[in-house]
């Protein structure tokens, strides 16, 4: 019986030490932060959230290249599926806006990206 108690105490001590070590690692290591995504080649864009709706994001882009380009806004929506806005085709020198909306059941917009083809 004494051996079982000693084994139980040893197991509990090992588990406590393991938990303390895991906690120390999670406190010591900073969370990774994603750098803002660069605009696709040939586009100069401004991105943002709607003034009165934190679930709606937009990208206003200008084609600064020499070829036509199609772009759209892509919202990373946290707890709900990501959302893509309408595809906008721009001739060189033209500007346009794409808008998308995250589900209100989720946690809102986590990141706004611009994608192109």
Which are the contacts of 60, defined by CB distance < 8 A and separation ≥ 6?
Answer: 45, 46, 47, 95, 96, 97
What residue spans define the domains of the chain? 1-33, 43-116
The model's pTM is 0.67
Place of tokens 């917009």: 109
- In CATH, the number for domain 43-116 is 2.60.40
pLDDT score of 31: 35
pLDDT digits (tens, 9 = 90+) for 26-79: 333 333 334 456 778 899 999 999 988 889 999 999 999 999 999 999 999 988
**Does 5 have pLDDT greater than 80?**
no
Round to whole Å and give the CA distance between 20 and 37.
Answer: 36
Q: What are phi and psi of 19, to 5 degrees?
A: -65, -40
């Amino acid at each position: 019986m004494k051996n079982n108690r000693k084994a139980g105490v040893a197991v509990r001590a090992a588990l406590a030490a393991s938990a303390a070590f895991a906690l120390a690692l999670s406190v010591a290591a900073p969370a990774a932060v994603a750098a803002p995504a660069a605009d696709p080649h040939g586009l100069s864009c401004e991105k943002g959230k709607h003034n009165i709706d934190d679930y709606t994001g937009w990208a206003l882009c200008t084609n600064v290249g020499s070829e036509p380009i199609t772009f759209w806004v892509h919202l990373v929506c946290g707890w709900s599926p990501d959302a893509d806005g309408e595809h906008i085709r721009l001739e060189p020198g033209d500007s346009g806006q794409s808008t998308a909306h995250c589900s209100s059941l989720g946690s809102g917009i986590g990141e706004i990206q611009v994608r192109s083809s």
